[in-house]
Structure 1
């Protein structure tokens, strides 16, 4: 009879341990589900930001930079400065156009 009572007590302790373990796992699951919901919300926000920024990049890539392509004579006439100045301005402008295009930006020359 004592053996049966000892066995019953052991089984009740095991059941209580299993119950505590199940409760702890349930709490851990609740915590994990809350964290997943939080992370899902952040993911949705970040996806929205990425989409908006991708649209902005596409808009910027579609635009063209307007740079005047003037002759030395036109620069001399507009500024009233010397030929050397006008040639330097035109060379600098040509270099700027080249570097901007090299960077992948479209240039609309006027």
Structure 2
């Protein structure tokens, strides 16, 4: 065996050894994760760790709780903002003037029948708005 052949053989053995070391390191890392897995997600975490080790995609599994934390935080912030907006809207008052028939006749220039119909409609609107829990200013 000449010198170049022996170096090639040694180099191939070195590459093979490095590959085995890399594979063993991945297995050791996965084993360490499995050992550290505790709690109710023990078997699911084991499954995930093994799937990750072997490059298997696991779309059948829901995300882990800690993966959804930022979604829950964002939802809580949005819920708080919406509650605040609801409180602001509930605190507001609708400005709906209650005019007499004579005032409506004067402002519009229309007949008494028109003014009475307008006032009745206005009274109904005020009643329905209050029934919905909205405060009416001027009514």
TM more than 0.5: yes
Shift, 1:86, TM fit: 0.2
State the 4+ residue runs in structure 1 displaced beyond 6 angstroms. none
- 1:65-95 CA distance string (max 9 Å, x none): 0001000000000000000000000000000
Equivalents in 2 of 1:86, 1:40: separation in Å? Answer: 60
Shift, 1:97, TM fit: 0.2
Equivalents in 2 of 1:38, 1:82: separation in Å? Answer: 69
1:1-110 aligned within 5 A? 22=34, 25=46, 27=49, 35-109=64-138
Greater fraction of residues in helix: 1
> Which ranges of structure 1 fall in alignment gaps of 5 or more residues?
1-18
Q: Secondary structure at the match of 2:110?
A: coil
Bigger RCO (CA 8 Å, 6+ sep): 1
Shift, 1:39, TM fit: 1.1
CA RMSD of aligned residues (A): 2.6
> Which ranges of structure 2 fall in alignment gaps of 5 or more residues?
1-30, 36-44, 53-57
